Amino acid sequence: MITTAIDNSVFEKLHKTEAWMFTNVSALSKIDFACPSEVDVSVIATHDIAPENPFVVFVNGVFQEGCSRIADGISVNADTHGDIAARGDSLIPRGDSSSVSITGTHAVTVHVLQIVTGDVPVACFGNVIVHAAEGESISLAETHIALTDQNHVFMPCTEVVAEQNSNVTIVRSIRGSKEAYHLGSLHVAQHESSTVQTHTITLGGKCVRNEVYAYLDGEHCESNFDGMYMLGKDQLVDNHLRVEHNEPKGNSREFYKGVLDENAKSVFTGRIYVKEDAHQTDAKQTNQNIILCDDASCTARPQLEIYADDVLCTHGATTGEIDEEALLYLRSRGIPKDAARTLLIYAFLNESLDELTDDGFRTVLVDELLSNLPGGNFIRTLYL
Amino acid sequence: MNNQANNINDPKKAVAESLPGGGMLLSSSNPVEEDTALLKETFKEKYKWGFVTDIEADSAPPGLDESTIAFISAKKDEPEWLLEWRLRAYRHWLTMEEPEWAHLTYNKPNFDEIIFYSAPKSLADGPKSLDEVDPALLETYKKLGIPLAEHAALAGVAVDAVFDSVSVGTTFKDKLEEVGIIFCPISEAVHSHPELVKKYLGTIVPYSDNYYATLNSAVFTDGSFVYIPKGVKCPMDLSTYFRINAKSTGQFERTLIIAEEGASVSYLEGCTAPMRDENQLHAAVVELIALDDADIKYSTVQNWYPGDENGVGGIYNFVTKRGKCQGDRSRITWTQVETGSAVTWKYPSCILLGDDSVGEFYSVALTNNYQQADTGTKMIHIGKNTKSTIISKGISAGHGQNIYRGLVRIQKGAENARNYTQCDSMLMGDRCGAHTFPYIEVKNKTAKAEHEASTSKIGEDQLFYCNQRGISTEDAINMIVNGFCKEVFRELPMEFAVEARRLLEVSLESSVG
């Protein structure tokens, strides 16, 4: 049994640092976190999105062997950590949990389901290690769901090593209770000519921090780090990225977009770091926000730190309302105002989901998005 | 990387060299290395204006405590309230820590070694006109090319020259007085217009604002005071030159500009400083207040001594500049050309409080050798329909590090606020750095904030194009850099635009990325 004894005090002063200045999690330092309780395993079945695929289930950080389907190349070990996370300056505490290791080539997406639940606040970790050897291809879907409305704190940490010519895709979705805290991190080390794509989709949670640390350690790396969020009352998402171009000819894209309703808050901090002599780096980062309510707010810090001269780096951030002209276009064609608004928001967010290649997972996420979206049922009647 | 590898990535050059005689066009078989050598050579150009005037200074002993502040205050014969204000600032300063968030590395100044007050002694007698000014001082100005006496008339500029903390000559005073404009050293304004100074001093940059602004509040020695009455358009550009002279003198200037309803003024500030081996601290505070329909344009050409090619010496320029568009439809424009200082830490800001007010920031920052500049702006949108524009051009060469750090904050009540930000960086050489750290905070859904940034170098194909047409590499670089900075230069007043161009040319002759 894994205990969840964590040192609460680390949360108290995190927001005093530059990296956390817009995200205050000091409330966590006052919560007594309990040990995980017994779980009704029947709920797990409802989240088994792809019954044919390998399936690894954790509840409160504890591996559920009975519900999981383990394939070749997937193993669950106690207390193992990768060494990629140590390269960054992440302040999220690390802890022990059963770790999933994924290696080899997988024809279908491996689904890792992490459930946090309990009648009292629970704190737990989830460690995943992905190692794609030369030429291998791995697709991973991580679903993080808090089932109960408690101040749970879940701290998943996924470490990825992509060796030469390998290909790794990770879709991480944060769903469920709008009371839970989610402090997640992804650490990626890439070797020559490898391709890594991550999609971080935030639909649930009260305070969600998604950190991505990427190290492009070989030439010709391709990296795509995307994010999407749809937030409502009292929700905050903090997407925090650092992409290090350490070798020439790397190509990285960060594209984060979201919609903020009621008093939701979004924070985006992206740092592209280009090391000396990492010439012909091509890096782009973009953050787009649509604000629906007067009380919503967003903060963007798209940052460039460049020490090489032959590079192409751009960043951009936009914030605003729904495009009035697009709205007029739809209304002039007889679509009611509310419906037109919903349609435009959906189109804006769905662009991000369209990139997901696995139909099963995309359908689930579209469905979840629609239930979060004001007027989502209207879209449902149109499309589904 | 060898030349051949470069060619692969630069098809135009590869083609040029594969043609018979094609390489000749580039003047050498290895143009990259040659250009780099040329770059290195011209970047070594010595600081033109490094000289020291020998004047017996009437200085405070080094170090800072309450008696130093009392000394400064007594020297200026200041009223009680000002001394109290200074002491409040000093006591607050003692509780503060030097900020570390800037992307800078430098040795923190040792405040025990700094002389906080130094006045040219001949001034104690108080010159009544230019004739009475110490000829050595005038000589210094001459070397600097400041149009003080008849030059001033020709140039149409009123100069309030600050020489080691004390203003020594003020021209065009009568002309300005005719229309009711007050333009004088702030130490004089404290006596002649105490009600205005008391009303506005520290309202934009409070004494507790930040580490260096607080230090300035405690020990500021002199600076300019400008008051433009209601409805008056200032008939000429106002100008001031600061110059650090006596060794180890921290310069703590305090400038206060007030534009009443419907007033407008253009203020120019320019700096050159003599060569020094040790780092000198310059911590100025500038406060601007624009009431309804007022318009203030503040332009700076900053050329403090940047240190030598090994990064030894140079000025620390830690400046707090802030303007408040207090009235409706007011406008504040900051334009700066930053080529000097070893370390620059400076964010001219606008608080857009009045409805329909406008804030603008145009900046060219150049870092060469081991210079570091962490500079940018803050635009705080509070009023409705407020607009701000930020155009920032950063040029890095040698081992220079150029950082743009800018905040755009749109408060909840700022309906229809608009911001447009463009920050472009140019890198010359592969050991310099260009960094961009924007902060964009939006709390109103009707607001629109746009941010664009790009990083580039002077392309070999651009240089090749110019070379081909008989333009030397040096001229081509000047041309390209000038083009790069054009959006900012065109905002500068005429005489500054000329100076700025010359300054960049001196610093940037023959640089190739």
ipTM of the complex: 0.84
Considering chain B, what is the average pLDDT of its residues? 77
CA distance B111 to B99: 15
In a domain, B166, yes or no: yes
Q: Let me know whether A268 and A371 are in one domain.
A: no
What average pLDDT does range B38-51 have in this prediction? Answer: 50
Which residues does chain B have within 8 Å of residue A320's beta carbon, measured at their own beta carbons?
Answer: 445, 447-449
Domain count, chain B: 1
pLDDT digits (tens, 9 = 90+) for A142-167: 999 999 898 999 999 999 999 999 99
Closest-CA distance of chain A to residue B22, Å = 24
Which of A266, A289, A321 is a domain's end point? A321
Same domain, A92 and A105: yes
Query: Which of A238, A319, A324 would you mutate first to test chain B, the one with the most B CBs within 10 A?
Result: A319
Q: Is B434 in contact with A298 (Cβ distance < 8 A)?
A: no
- The verdict on residue B33 lying in a domain is no
State the residue range of the domain holding B342.
Answer: 57-508
- Among chain A residues, CA nearest to B8: A280
Could you give the CA distance from residue B321 to residue B334 in angstroms, rounded to a whole number? 9
A88 falls within a domain: yes
Q: Quick check: A306 and B425 CB within 8 A?
A: yes
Q: Please list, in sequence order, all residues whose beta carbon lies within 8 angstroms of the beta carbon of residue B252, skipping any fewer than 6 positions away.
A: B116, B165, B215, B216, B219, B220, B221, B282, B283, B284
The answer, yes or no, to whether residue A239 has pLDDT greater than 80, is yes
Mean pLDDT along residues A282-303: 90
**Entry field: residues in chain B:** 513
| Residue-number span of the structural domain to which A363 is assigned | 323-384
Whether residues A189 and A227 fall in one domain: yes
Residues of A in contact with B420 (CB under 8 A): none
Q: Which two tokens stand for residue B198?
A: 């008391």
Query: Could you tell me the two tokens for B265?
Result: 């003024």
Flag if B445 and A308 touch (Cβ within 8 Å). Answer: no
Q: Do B435 and A308 touch (CB under 8 A)?
A: no
Answer whether 0.90 is exceeded by the pTM: no
Strands (DSSP E) along B85-198, which ranges? 118-120, 158-163, 166-170, 182-185
Q: Is residue B153 part of a domain?
A: yes
Q: Name the nearest CA neighbour of A61 among A138, A136, A6.
A: A6
Closest-CA distance, B208 to chain A, in angstroms, reads 19
Question: Residue B50: pLDDT band by 50, 70, 90 thresholds?
Answer: low
Residues of chain A whose beta carbon is less than 8 angstroms from a beta carbon of chain B are: 18, 276-277, 279-280, 289, 291-321
pLDDT of residue B85: 92
Res. B2: pLDDT tops 60: no
Residue B18 pLDDT grade (very low, low, confident, very high; cuts 50, 70, 90): very low
| Measured distance CA(A207)–CA(A196) in Å, rounded | 26
In a domain, A2, yes or no: no
Q: Are residues A261 and A358 in the same domain?
A: no
User: Average pLDDT for residues A43-51, to the nearest whole number?
Assistant: 86
Please answer yes or no on whether A299 and B441 come within 8 Å at the CB atom: yes
Cα B123 to Cα A321, B78, B456, B504: the distances in Å are 61, 17, 50, 35
Q: Which residue in B410, B435, B457 has the most chain A C-beta atoms within 10 A of its own C-beta, making it the best mutation to test that interface?
A: B435
* Helix residue spans in B263-326 (DSSP H): none
C-alpha B396/C-alpha B38 separation (Å) is 16
- Assess if residue A3 is contained within a domain: no
Give the C-alpha separation, A77 to A7, whole Å: 24
Answer for the pair B301, B341: CB distance below 8 angstroms, yes or no: no
Q: Is residue B15 part of a domain?
A: no
Taking residues B420-427, report their average pLDDT. Answer: 89
Chain-centre distance of CA B144, in angstroms? Answer: 17
Q: What is the Rg, in whole angstroms, of the alpha carbon atoms belonging to chain A? A: 20
CB contact under 8 A, A294 and B444: yes
pLDDT value of residue B222 = 79
Find the mean pLDDT for residues B132-155. 48
Per-residue confidence at B33, pLDDT binned at 50, 70, 90?
low
A289: region left, alpha or beta (phi > 0 left; psi from -120 to 50 alpha): beta
- CA dist B485 and B508 (Å) reads 13
pLDDT at B150 over 60: no
Is A330 inside any structural domain?
Answer: yes
Last residue of a domain, which of A299, A321, A343? A321
Distance CA A300, CA A288 (A): 9
**Is B434 in contact with A304 (Cβ distance < 8 A)?**
yes
Q: Determine whether the interchain pair A306/B450 forms a contact, defined as Cβ–Cβ distance below 8 Å.
A: no
| CA–CA gap between residue A163 and residue A152 (Å, rounded) | 35
Whether A190 is covered by a domain: the verdict is yes
Are residues A301 and A287 both part of a single domain? yes
Q: Minimal Cα–Cα distance from B370 to chain A, Å?
A: 14
pLDDT tens, residue by residue, B276-287 = 545 578 888 999
In a domain, residue B44? The reply is: no
Assess whether A353 and A261 both reside in one domain: no
Best-predicted range by mean pLDDT among B99-108, B285-294, B504-513?
B285-294
Residue B159 belongs to some domain of the structure: yes
Residues A236 and A345 both lie in one domain: no
Q: Using the 3D structure, point to which of A268, A296, A321 is the last residue of a domain.
A: A321
Per-residue pLDDT band for B139 (boundaries 50, 70, 90) equals: low
Q: Which chain A residues are Cβ-neighbours of B429 within 8 angstroms?
A: 309
Contact B436 A304 (CB under 8 A): yes
CB atoms A306 and B412 under 8 Å: no
Residue of A nearest to B103 (CA): A305
The chain B residue lying nearest A312, using CA atoms, is B455
Q: Which residues of B touch A (CB under 8 A)?
A: 1, 9, 101, 103, 412, 425, 427-457, 513
Amino acid identity of residue A303, one-letter, is Q
Which helix or strand (DSSP H or E) is residue B506 part of?
helix B494-508
Whether A169 and A75 map to the same domain: the answer is: yes
Q: CB–CB of A46/A63 below 8 Å?
A: no
Give mean pLDDT, residues A229-254: 94
* pLDDT computed for residue B135 by the predictor: 61
User: Which chain A residue has the Cα nearest residue B407?
Assistant: A301
Taking the alpha carbons of A239, A89, A224, A125 in that order, is the dihedral positive or negative?
A: negative
Give me the helices (H) in chain A, please. Answer: 42-46, 324-331, 337-353, 359-372, 376-383
Q: Could you say which of A18, A302, A306 has the minimum Cβ distance to residue B455? A: A306
Given an 8 Å threshold on Cβ–Cβ distance, is B430 in contact with A302? no
User: What confidence score (pLDDT) does residue B162 get?
Assistant: 53
Q: Chain B: residue nearest A19 by CA? A: B101
- Here the tokens at position B417 are 């606020």
The 10s digit of each residue's pLDDT in B193-236 is 999 999 999 999 999 999 999 999 998 887 889 999 999 998 87
**Residue A299 and residue B442: Cβ atoms within 8 Å?**
yes
Residue entry with tokens 């620059």: B344
Alpha carbon of A268: minimum distance to chain B alpha carbons (Å): 9
- Among A259, A253, A260, A264, CA closest to A316: A253
Reading the block at residue B470, the tokens are 């008989």
Closest partner CB to B435 (pick from A293, A304, A317)? A304
For residues B281-309, give the mean pLDDT.
88
CA atoms of B22 and A374, how far apart (whole Å): 65
Q: Are residues A104 and A148 in the same domain?
A: yes
pLDDT digits (tens, 9 = 90+) for B63-101: 888 888 888 888 888 899 999 999 999 999 999 988 888
- Is A219 a member of any domain? yes
Number of H helices, E strands in chain A: 5, 19
Most B-contacting residue of A287, A288, A297, A304 (CB-CB within 10 A), to test interface: A304
Give the chain A residue nearest B429 (alpha carbons).
Answer: A309
Domain count, chain A: 2
Residue B379 forms part of a structural domain = yes
- Regarding whether A353 and A316 lie in a shared domain, the answer is no
Residue B213: the pLDDT is: 93
Q: How far apart are CA A295 and CA A254, in angstroms?
A: 27
In a domain, B35, yes or no: no
CB pairs under 8 A between A and B: 115
A284 and A375 in a common domain = no
For residue A321, give the chain B residue with the closest CA. Answer: B445
Same domain, A302 and A366: no
